A and B are shown apart, each in its own frame.
Chain A
Amino acid sequence: MMKLTTYSIVCRDAVELVSDYLEGALSRRDSRRLEKHLKGCPNCSAYLEQIRDTIAVAGEVSPNDLSPEALSDLVDLYRRFRSPLE
């Protein structure tokens, strides 16, 4: 009998597993399949790197996301809120 785990996946399948793999959400069998594919495939390995970089960069603080106008509106809100107390 051939074991189920022996069938391999192609690149098109591998990219579908990458996100869950990084989440630690793949079944052990799918993890093994993906890792086996990655070992022999520089393209999918690079793809995994790209996704990993994308996630890492998304978590970096992006400066000036808030416009100065929006900030001053919110600070006005704060002042209006505070003033009746004083």
Chain B
Amino acid sequence: MGVEYPWFVDDAELLQRLLAGDETAFAALVTRYHPMLVRVARYYVNSEASAEDVAQDTWIAVLRGVDRFEGRSSFKTWLLRILVNRARSTGTKEHRAIPVDPTSTSSALAGRFDEGGAWREPVVPFTDVIEDSMVNKPVVRLVHEAISRLGEPQQAVVTLRDVEGLPTTEVAELLELSVANVRVILHRARTKVRADVEASLRGGG
């Protein structure tokens, strides 16, 4: 079955059509948000399968409650709140500890600096690397692959902040982290993703 709604049809309109019983509107919402839900659920639960279950449960809750959605928050925020509530209870059952260690430094740049702290080799903008690169994959693919290789909590933080564009305060609230912790985690995640993309462009990944 095809998803007939293009990206510029907004969530509010899709919700209206969903309420009217339009199956393709549901498919469009799922296409838009299911991967995000699975990624964020992964922060709370121990396995990919559990994350998938939590995300599916969230869609059922959406179908049950869509007529009560008041539009005071965005659909995305509403959806994430439902997911996080469900994932939290599942995560507690699985005794998932949330690892945040703001003191450990990132190793993604290990060996790149000399004793004086200057770059050993020149850094070139990605646009220049791409011109010389033998890798045909679009950078958007490389970035998303790099994000999917991140561990937690980095993957959840970078997904909500950089992929979905939520404000840092909202990310902190959803993941029950301090804003300061979100920033530290985000910094490490971006450092790693950048290094990963650079390695891939150079044919090393």
Contacts and interface: CB of A to CB of B under 8 A. Distances in A.
A binds B: yes
B86 interface: no
A57 B196 CA distance: 14
A38 B35 CA distance: 37
B22 to A, nearest CB: 10
Nearest to B39: A65
A85 B111 CA distance: 63
B124 A46 contact: yes
Contacts of A47: 123, 194
A37 to B, nearest CB: 11
Contacts, number: 124
Contacts of A62: 140-141, 144
Interface residues on B, range: 35 or more
Q: Is the interface of B mostly helix, strand, loop or mixed?
A: helix
B56 A57 contact: no
B144 A71 contact: no
B144 to A, nearest CB: 5
A35 interface: no
B119 A20 contact: no
A59 B31 CA distance: 16
A72 B30 contact: no
A70 B34 contact: yes
B99 interface: no
Interface of B: 1, 3, 7, 21, 23, 26-27, 30-31, 34-35, 56, 59-60, 63, 109, 113, 116-119, 122-127, 139-141, 143-144, 147, 158, 162-165, 168, 183, 186-187, 190-191, 193-194, 197-198
